[in-house]
Structure 1
Amino acid sequence: MSAQPTVAVIGTFLVDILGRPVGDIPQGQASVRIEQIRITAAGSGAGTAVDLARLGAKVYGVGARSTDVIGTVLAGLLADEGIDSSLLKVLDGAQTSASMLPIRPNGDRPALHVPGINGLVRVSDLTFPAWEGIDGLHLGGVDAMRNLETTELVGVLKAAKSAGVFVSMDVQSGRPADNRSDILDLLPYVDVFMPNLEQAQSLVNAVDPEAVLLALLNHGAASVILTLGPDGSLYGSGVERRRTPVYPVEVLDTTGCGDAFCAAYLMGALRGVDVPERLQLATAAGSLTATGLGSDAGIVGWDQLVDYVRAADVRGRLG
């Protein structure tokens, strides 16, 4: 496949405002000085789209923003990354989705989130590309888009699959209160499903990673990767299981690590890289993202990831 695959990303597009390090919120109207504040295009849709673009893909963003200033900022951030946002619909009815994240000194990321327009958009509001010109499709956080009907999304995936598109998916929420088990109906049309363990546990009646993996495969996914935080990841398909350890890095902020993992794995698949190396590249992407502030931190390009993995192999990281 082309060294520059074309990818459509359907999902949550929003703006993050991040500050670090934040130990405690000051009382009353007191203030405290911190080291850094950033604004980024984020969410499981936009975050993955940005990383895909940096890794060399031509990217179409498929989702929604509002007519407000935040929406204008989001469009500008996407344009700066070379992402085609002509399919990002401008809608009324709510503000553009956004989050404020006070990043703790240990890298944890509590969030204050406004679902905004992402919570209102319907499949009928969206415009999709001509699938014959698309190599990959990533569903990024469609579980958080409460008005997207799964039955209508199945129709979108069927059209993409009939055109030979490679489909990946993750989810955005891991809270049991946000559980949307109907999202499992999409798995028969997905080549790789990449949730973290907490998210996956909220979808199936299982806790142990192996049991969770098997349950998701039984729902029809061709392959599943559970990201396990400091324990790396667990990959499974109908014929294979594989664990991949993390790359040790100094963690600054864990925002967007999962998005980077998804982007790198999808790019590896589209560039014909075998599964073990895809997993190493994806793990490297997630680890590097944790070294900076925001979901777009740490990722420079495809060659950076390849060089990072090769250097780690020389050091004996993978045994």
Structure 2
Amino acid sequence: MPDIRRWDLLAYGDPCMDLTLDLEGLPEPGGKVLARPALQSAGGTTANAACAVSRLGGRAAIFGRVGADAFGEALRGSMREDGVDIEHLQTVNGQSSGVAISLLPPGGDRALVVAPMAPPPPPFLTQRLHDAMLQSRVIYVMPYDQRELERICHLARRTGTRIAIDLEPSVASDRQAMEQRMALADLVFFNEAGFRAGTGEAPSVEALASLKAHLDPGPACIVVTMGAAGAMAVDQHGVIQQSAFATQVRDTTGAGDAFNAAFVLAYLEGNSLPACLRFACAVSSFVVAKLGARAGLPSRAAVNALLLND
């Protein structure tokens, strides 16, 4: 039966405005450093993923909120320009849009300070989200709140929508929080710091295989990104590793978001686990070469050319 759902990926979460500062080094506690404003651009973890899917030729929508301010208008316009459906992006009166400040030292490995919008009330997860999920193959979430994720999972079971989650240290800072969230997901993504926070171990073939076995049946697939060391993933067939593509790193902002989005899209297209990893690593290599989360998001043609010539 052909897939008649409207969107490949529904990004759940609020976009934010990214403010990037170039600086010579991060300040010590109580210290001060001089910085140069480098960029103001649209961002937000799940919003970036939606934009990446759309630029790669997939179908994406966002379910979230912006404030009734200039940043909110800019965020809506940016997502519209990238081809993301903003039907379910609400404008909230009396609130400011979220802001993220990227501190970018030499080398491009940034530190991030986030000032999000106030959490939505539980009724935000009502019939409207149910209807949006009915039209979506995957909902992509950064699940800070366990109860919120449980409500999303309940709707996912009713609508037949798969759940992909991103577990950074700020989301799941210990093993209990990690396992509670993983138990509800179909696809789980970690960065290296998130894997260390949740498992207490460095990413390795043995650690990833052990985590998958411990959670069995658990998620269908677990993926770990490791920056310049590439990425690895495990499913029921075992662990696969993929090297990073050689590129000059300018800014790592948004690289993980783009990687995850590319992996989800390739996964939905029925590609093998090695092909999904290779495709996602190729996509993220474009992103880190540019300043900002979305400036380097590639087209499918550009990624295919890189893969053909690599």
TM-score computed with the length of structure 1 as normaliser? 0.82
Structure 2 unmatched ranges of 5 or more: none
Compared CA separation, residues 185 and 176, structure 1 to 2 (3 A): closer
Q: How big is each residue's C-alpha offset from its partner over 1:53-111, in whole Å with a ceiling of 9 and x where there is no partner?
A: 11112211012222233222211211221211221233356422111223222102122
Compared CA separation, residues 32 and 132, structure 1 to 2 (3 A): closer
Q: What is the correspondence of 1:276-315 to structure 2 with a 5 Å cutoff?
A: 276-312=274-310
Residues matched between the structures, number: 300
CA contact (8 A) 1:131 1:159 kept: no
1:200 partner SS:
helix
Compared CA separation, residues 89 and 243, structure 1 to 2 (3 A): same
- Find the partner of 1:247 among 241, 245, 248: 245
Q: Distance in 1 between matches of 2:120 and 2:151?
A: 13
- Find the partner of 1:267 among 265, 268, 276: 265
Compared CA separation, residues 215 and 22, structure 1 to 2 (3 A): same
In the TM superposition, residue 182 of structure 1 has moved relative to its aligned partner by 4.0
**Letter paired with 1:233:** A
**Letter paired with 1:196:** N
CA contact (8 A) 1:157 1:189 kept: no
Q: Distance in 2 between matches of 1:202 and 1:33?
A: 32
Mean alpha-carbon deviation: is it higher for 105-114 or for 275-284?
105-114
- Find the partner of 1:201 among 196, 208, 211: 196
Q: How big is each residue's C-alpha offset from its partner over 1:274-319, in whole Å with a ceiling of 9 and x where there is no partner?
A: 221111110011111000011113223112112111111xxxxxxx
Aligned to 1:315: none
**Letter paired with 1:136:** V
Q: What is the correspondence of 1:184-195 to structure 2 with a 5 Å cutoff?
A: 184-195=179-190
Mean alpha-carbon deviation: is it higher for 199-208 or for 289-298?
199-208
Compared CA separation, residues 239 and 260, structure 1 to 2 (3 A): same
Aligned to 1:159: 158
CA contact (8 A) 2:174 2:199 kept: no
Structure 1 unmatched ranges of 5 or more: 313-319
1:202 partner SS:
helix
Q: Distance in 2 between matches of 1:31 and 1:132?
A: 49
Mean alpha-carbon deviation: is it higher for 246-255 or for 96-105?
96-105
Aligned to 2:123: 124
In the TM superposition, residue 212 of structure 1 has moved relative to its aligned partner by 4.8
Q: Distance in 2 between matches of 1:256 and 1:125?
A: 27
Mean alpha-carbon deviation: is it higher for 279-288 or for 82-91?
82-91
In the TM superposition, residue 224 of structure 1 has moved relative to its aligned partner by 0.5
**Larger strand fraction of residues:** 2
Q: What is the correspondence of 1:17-96 to structure 2 with a 5 Å cutoff?
A: 17-19=19-21, 21-23=22-24, 36-40=38-42, 42-91=43-92, 94-96=95-97
Compared CA separation, residues 274 and 107, structure 1 to 2 (3 A): same
**Letter paired with 1:266:** V
Aligned to 1:316: none
In the TM superposition, residue 175 of structure 1 has moved relative to its aligned partner by 4.5
Aligned to 2:255: 257
Q: Distance in 1 between matches of 2:192 and 2:32?
A: 39
Q: How big is each residue's C-alpha offset from its partner over 1:209-238, in whole Å with a ceiling of 9 and x where there is no partner?
A: 332553255331111111111111111112
Compared CA separation, residues 31 and 212, structure 1 to 2 (3 A): closer
**Residue 215 (str. 1) matches residue 216 (str. 2):** no
Percent identity for Structure 1 against Structure 2: 21
Aligned to 2:166: 170
Compared CA separation, residues 73 and 178, structure 1 to 2 (3 A): farther
CA contact (8 A) 1:289 1:298 kept: yes
CA contact (8 A) 2:66 2:72 kept: yes
- Computed over aligned residues only, the root mean square deviation of the Cα atoms, in angstroms, reads 3.1
CA contact (8 A) 1:232 1:246 kept: yes
Q: Distance in 1 between matches of 2:151 and 2:3?
A: 30
Q: How big is each residue's C-alpha offset from its partner over 1:24-56, in whole Å with a ceiling of 9 and x where there is no partner?
A: 589x9997666x42312x222111111111111
1:111 partner SS:
strand
Aligned to 1:317: none
Mean alpha-carbon deviation: is it higher for 90-99 or for 231-240?
90-99
In the TM superposition, residue 148 of structure 1 has moved relative to its aligned partner by 5.2
